[in-house]
Amino acid sequence: MANYELKAELRELKGTGASRRLRREAGKTPGIVYGGDKEPTQVTLELKELNKAFEDEGFFSHIIKLNVAGTTETVLVKDVQRHAYKPVVLHVDFQRVSNSTVIKQHIPLHFINEEACKGVKLQGGKVTHTVNDVMVICEASNLPEFIEVDLKDVEVGTTLHLSDLKLPAGVEILELTHGSDHDSAVVSVDVPKGASAADEDDAAEEAAAE
């Protein structure tokens, strides 16, 4: 897994007006670091550096080393406020963590082998994604950067659910901790809408013949 590091400065001036001036005049973004056994710390970060970090999907599901005025904190991004239409980050919340901190975090799903999917390549199906990320619960040291969903052997008419995902050791999907009735759909392979009944019958016959 990649290593992520950011530099931040302590923020002396607080309030909406001060934050607006930071963004407009200094090209900086206000933020807060909270959690652990320390008081919350108000910080500022270079917007240019934040935008560069945000280009990497793994940045949002990875422990980050945040250097605040010479002191290194290990943190996770917990919330990002963005401008409605400008490429401007308005505020960032960081949570302090240690390797043993139990955390809840959204993790992206990486769907692989879609073009080679049996239900698509041989049976004329179409892949439909229901969700693109899942909320997991685990110790920070076990946090995955992404979860892979292999569609190679998935046949037409099949729906994969949360319980079908292969998870790293020590990682649970939060929804499934609430019971089997929370086993939501993740991705399905179906005959496209508008396909004729004959097409659906052909797909079914091919699936049965395999």
Summarize the confidence of residues 97-120 as an average pLDDT.
93
**Can you tell me the mean pLDDT for 4-30?**
72
Query: In whole angstroms, how large is the CA radius of gyration of the chain?
Result: 22
62-86 pLDDT, tens digit per residue, is 889 999 988 999 999 999 988 788 7
Q: Evaluate if pTM is beyond 0.85.
A: no
Show the beta-strand stretches assigned E in the chain. 4-10, 28-34, 41-46, 64-68, 71-82, 89-96, 102-112, 126-129, 133-139, 147-150, 158-161, 172-173, 185-190
Averaged confidence pLDDT in the chain:
86
Instruction: Identify the pLDDT of residue 168.
Output: 94
Across 166-181, average pLDDT = 95
8-17, 49-58, 139-148 — most confident range: 139-148
> Which of the four pLDDT bands, split at 50, 70 and 90, describes residue 170?
very high
pLDDT confidence bin for 209, thresholds 50/70/90: low
Q: Is the pLDDT of residue 36 over 90?
A: no
CA–CA dist 174, 133 (Å, integer): 12
- Answer whether 112's CB lies under 8 Å from 146's CB: no
**Going by C-beta distance under 8 Å and a sequence separation of 6 or more, which residues neighbour residue 70?**
none
8 A C-beta contact, residue 189 and residue 155 = yes
Instruction: Show the domains of the chain with their CATH numbers.
Output: 4-97 (2.40.240.10), 103-209 (2.170.120.20)
Percent of the chain surpassing pLDDT 70: 84
Give the single-character DSSP code of 197: H
Check if the beta carbon of residue 75 is closer than 8 Å to that of residue 96. yes
Q: Where are the alpha helices (DSSP H) in 55-130?
A: 118-121
Task: Please give the Cα distance from 25 to 84 (Å, whole number).
Answer: 19
Query: Which ranges in 91-160 belong to alpha helices (H)?
Result: 118-121
Task: Give the number of other CB atoms < 10 A from CB of residue 140.
Answer: 19
pLDDT band at 163 (very low <50, low <70, confident <90, very high): very high
CB 47 within 8 A of CB 31: no
Q: Of 11-15, 96-100, 128-132, which gets the smallest average pLDDT? A: 11-15
In the predicted model, is pLDDT for residue 189 greater than 90?
Answer: yes
The alpha carbon torsion through 177, 183, 189, 190 (nearest 10 deg) reads -170
Higher pLDDT: 151 or 207? It is 151
Residue 145, phi then psi, degrees to nearest 5:
-75, -35
Answer whether residue 1 shows pLDDT above 50: no
